[in-house]
Amino acid sequence: MIDSSLQPVQLLSLDGERMPRPDFDSWVEDLDGAALLALYRDMVVVRRLDTEATALQRQGELGLWPPLLGQEAAQVGSARALRSDDFAFPSYRENAVAYCRGVKLTDIVKVWRGNAQSGWDPYTVNLATPAIIIGAQTLHATGWALGAQRDEVDSVAIAYFGDGATSEGDVNEAMVFAASFQAPVVFFCQNNHWAISEPVGVQAHRNIADRAPGFGIPSLRVDGNDVIAVLAATRIALDRARTGGGPTFVEAVTYRMGPHTTADDPTRYRDPAELAAWKTRDPLLRLHRLLTSLGEITPEVEEATAALADAAAVELRAGCIGMPDPEPLSVFDHVYVTPNATLERQRTDYAGYLTSFGGAEQSGAEQNGKA
Amino acid sequence: MTMTTLMTPATVSTVPGLAVPAYTDPAPTPLRETKTLTMGKAINEGLRQAMLDDPRVVLLGEDIGALGGVFRVTSDLLAQFGARRVIDTPLAESAIIGTAVGLAYRGYRPVCEIQFDGFIFPGFDQIVSQVAKFHYRTQGAVRMPITIRVPFGGGIGAAEHHSESPEAYFTHTSGLRVIAVSNAQDAYSLIRQAIASDDPVLYFEPKRRYHVKGEVVPELGTPMDQAVIVRPGTDVTLLAYGALVSTARDAALAALDEGVSIEVIDLRSLSPVDYAVVEASVQKTGRLVVTHEAAQSGGLGGEIIATVTERCFSYLEAAPVRVTGFDVPYPPAKLESHHLPDLDRILDGVDRVMGRR
């Protein structure tokens, strides 16, 4: 449950009512019905993609999948606040961020199918390859921000990480560096309450947002299931960074409604009542209520949104299943930029070994299939 | 009650920011002609030239600014290039490496100084899990042209964590290039080559040779992945790197008195190893001794001997020999002379490979 002395900023009630807050409202004034509907559409699509990816894992098409169920508002709201020249450094669960940055759907699951260690070229979408080492990417974001500062551009780095990562040395070191050099970086923490089986109380004895001011970094604590509040908070943080204000820490209080990954079993450690309580805070539900009250939701809109989500799921599935296996000898590719004699020798030896099974005319891929 | 939404720090500390310290002296002229320099100064000149060559080169490290580093290797660079490019960092090795990764992501060529060999381990994860793997991970999309300078080795009577030889942790890590310099000329040339490399480079500086002088020609010199025969010979191939190259040369001279001709090879590149030069030498001599300060088990010597044995077995006249530090944590200063290979222990190894004892 959200147990806080400082209640997270909320701009959208559970009933879907827009709650006025003078200090935040000006940041989301532009959100008309169409813009809100666009955010809703994003959230519906990413939830559908998430469901499809989980199904693909269950069917043996993906090795693993880290569901984002429940965190749609935190991810969509923050990602939609970014400019294209900003650079995001995600963890492995930010698949909605990847979607918003324009990563091809098939590329989102490439890593989880085991075809590559990175699904996309980071420079094409200004989204780093997801970090699996917890918290490591916060330093990369800070370093990138130091570069932007030196280049005298107003692009901003944003680091995504979870409540568990805040215990890592790297996250704390990143905040020290960012504060010392006033780096244009946003620390975006999705407190989803669980680090696999460890509740947030194991990581933090106080609100996570309370920590940042000790580093000299202002912080915001927002309802992470309120897409409007998340968008506003991220815009505030980005604006501070862009205008020389330095780093900002945003704690988006949300909830991981699914397992840590498809290999996890939350029934072993989580009270079902807690999940039930968070279901009432579902990020899609309350935005749907607002849109309904605004008259934006019509049967046609519902139908079109569902069709869009289904089409995305079909594309994801087809792309996933149709993905060709990598060539065996590509295992040696890109270890170094400069040719490396020791490695080239291993490549040549292994190519010879593969050829020894089936004659020179047979390709390595066919060999692999037979093995 | 209205709450302050943005929790602000109670006190905002003064931020060093990008202020450039008072700059009085004219910029030092870069090395333009052959000069006799200490190894430390040679690295300094190499860094200066690399920074003049490429505005994307930035230095990060502890005490590298006004102090010029604890070994003064970065002396005067802050005054010449300013705090945007010579960055005195907070005391956090993981962040020194991790922010270098972010700078490299943006096209910079960071040069990180790790203050002492034994201080590299807080940065180990970022080196092994990030720096080494990014190019492979991204199928060539993201390059990590990062140079990590590490003063290494013992023999200076230092406290714990100040005399270690951690190179094998890095030669075991795919994606990194590892070099160790032994003299002023290589120190100058190879720091420039390392910085120009599109692959990440661990650059090991033998700290007990910092003050040894040598002639330095302001050229890029022999490519950094090549081993160099520093003294030709016919009976035994003796491989060394870093501070022990000088000891190996002394050993070769001493062995002449006993009628043994030693070919001394300065390995220079520890990853990849230049096996072409090593194999050619062993095929000539039939005998191999490898020496390093690092512990024996799992060390580079074992790997080189295994590879040479695989490739040159029929040429070998005797089992190759390792002369290395023992499998102990680096000992206290009063014991380090027993741990470090010296001239006599190298000669003892030569005797063994010659079947003289």
Q: Which of A11, A175, A181 to mutate to test the interface with B (most CBs of B within 10 A)?
A: A181
pLDDT (tens digit, 9 = 90+) per residue, B274-283?
Answer: 999 999 999 9
Residues A137 and A243 in one domain: yes
* pLDDT given for residue B3 in this prediction: 41
Q: How confident is the model at residue B18 (pLDDT cuts 50, 70, 90)?
A: very low
The answer to whether position A14 is within a domain reads no
Any domain includes A15: no
Nearest CA in chain A to B224: A338
Residues of A within 8 A of B112 (CB-CB) are: none
Cβ distance of B135 and A129 shorter than 8 Å: no
A218 and B98 within 8 Å at the Cβ level: the answer is no
Residues of chain A positioned with their CB less than 8 A from the CB of B270: none
Cβ contacts below 8 Å, chain A against chain B, sum to 192
pLDDT-based confidence at residue B29 (cuts at 50, 70, 90): confident
Tell me which of A146, A211, A345 to substitute to probe the interface with B (most B C-beta atoms closer than 10 Å): A146
Domains in chain A, number: 2
What CATH number has the domain bearing residue A120? Answer: 3.40.50.970
Show residues of chain A in contact with B147, CB under 8 Å.
Answer: none
Report pLDDT for B357. 77
Q: Do A342 and B272 touch (CB under 8 A)?
A: yes
Q: What is the mean pLDDT of residues B240-264?
A: 97
Domain boundaries, chain B: 35-216, 228-353
Write down the pLDDT at residue A7.
86
A170 touches chain B (CB under 8 A): yes
Please indicate, yes or no, whether residues A366 and A238 belong to a single structural domain of this protein. Answer: no
A358 touches chain B (CB under 8 A): no
- Asked whether residue A128 is assigned to any structural domain, the reply reads yes
Both A177 and A257 in a single domain? yes
Q: Which residues of B touch A343 (CB under 8 A)?
A: 174, 272
pLDDT at A358: 80
Strands laid side by side in the A157-162 sheet: A87-89, A157-162, A185-191, A248-253, A219-223
Residue B71's pLDDT band, with cuts at 50, 70 and 90, is very high
For residues A118 and A58, state if they share a domain. yes
Q: Are residues A202 and A344 in the same domain?
A: no
Tens of pLDDT, residue by residue over B177-203, are: 999 999 999 999 999 999 999 999 999
pLDDT at B10: 52
The proportion of chain B whose per-residue pLDDT surpasses 90, expressed as a percent, equals: 90
Of the three residues A303, A321, A339, the one that is the final residue of a domain is: A321
pLDDT at B17 over 70: no
Q: Which residues of chain A have a pLDDT value below 50?
A: 1-5, 362, 364-371
ipTM here: 0.94
* Residues A131 and A265 both lie in one domain: yes
Residue range B113-129: mean pLDDT, rounded: 97
User: Could you check whether B35-216 and B228-353 share the same CATH topology?
Assistant: yes
What pLDDT, in 10s, does the model give residues B324-357?
999 999 999 999 999 999 999 999 999 999 999 7
Q: Domain B228-353 classified CATH 3.40.50.920?
A: yes
Question: Do A269 and A123 fall within a single domain?
Answer: yes
Query: Cα(B187)–Cα(A314) distance, rounded to whole angstroms?
Result: 58
Q: Does some domain include residue A135? A: yes
pLDDT confidence of residue A167? 97
Clarify whether residues A279 and A338 are in a common domain.
Answer: no
State the pLDDT at residue A370: 40
Residue ranges making up the domain that contains A337? 328-370
Q: What number is the average pLDDT over the span B86-99? A: 98
Contact A342 B275 (CB under 8 A): yes
Domain boundary among A321, A340, A362: A321
Nearest residue, CB atoms, B5 vs list A23, A213, A335: A23
Which chain A residue shows the shortest CA-CA distance from B128?
A133
Mean of pLDDT over chain B: 93
pLDDT score at B26? 52
- Nearest Cα of chain B lies from the Cα of A236 at a distance, in angstroms, of 10
In this prediction, residue B226 carries a pLDDT of 98
pLDDT reported for residue B27: 58
A12 within a domain of the structure (yes/no): no
- Hey, is the C-beta of A252 within 8 angstroms of any chain B C-beta? no
Q: Which residues of B touch A221 (CB under 8 A)?
A: 7
| Residue of A133, A173, A211, A330 best to disrupt the B interface, most CBs of B under 10 A | A173
pLDDT at residue B80 greater than cutoff 70: yes
Residues A303 and A338 both lie in one domain: no
**Which residues from chain A sit within 8 angstroms of residue B6, using beta carbons?**
23, 218-220, 236
Query: Using CB atoms, which residue from B87, B98, B175 is nearest to A170?
Result: B98
- The model's confidence at residue B14, banded by pLDDT at 50, 70 and 90, is very low
Q: What is the CATH number of domain B35-216?
A: 3.40.50.970
Q: Which residues of A touch B276 (CB under 8 A)?
A: 341
* Residue carrying structure tokens 């995600």: A90
Interchain contact, B142 vs A6, CB within 8 Å? no
* pLDDT at residue B30, rounded to an integer: 85
* pTM, entire model: 0.94
Residues A256 and A336 in one domain: no
Identify the pLDDT of residue B21.
Answer: 44
Of A23, A219, A338, the CB nearest to B7: A219
User: What pLDDT score was predicted for residue B5?
Assistant: 58
Asked if residue A217 is part of any domain, the answer here is: yes
On whether both A289 and A339 belong to a single domain, the answer is no
Is residue A4, in this structure, part of any structural domain at all?
no
Catalytic residues of A: 256, 260, 269
Distance (Å) from the alpha carbon of B306 to chain A's nearest alpha carbon: 14
Both A216 and A352 in a single domain? no
Which residues in chain B have Cβ-Cβ distances shorter than 8 Å to A24? Answer: 5
HEC readout, chain A: CCCCCCCCECCECCCCCECCCHHHHHHHCCCCHHHHHHHHHHHHHHHHHHHHHHHHHHCCCCCCCCCCCCCHHHHHHHHCCCCCCCEEECECCCHHHHHHHCCCHHHHHHHHHCCCCCCCCHHHHCECCCECCCCHHHHHHHHHHHHHHHHCCCCCEEEEEECHHHHCHHHHHHHHHHHHHCCCEEEEEEECCEECCEEHHHHCCCCHHHCHHHHCCCEEEEECCCHHHHHHHHHHHHHHHHCCCCCEEEEEECCCCCCCCCCCCHHHCCCHHHHHHHHCCCHHHHHHHHHHHCCCCCHHHHHHHHHHHHHHHHHHHHHHHCCCCCCHHHHHCCCCCCCCHHHHHHHHHHHHHHHHHHCCCCCHHHHHHHC
Q: Which of residues 11-40 of A touch B (CB under 8 A)?
A: 21, 23-24
* Active-site residue, from B135, B161, B162, B211: B162
Dist CA B81 CA B83 (whole Å): 7
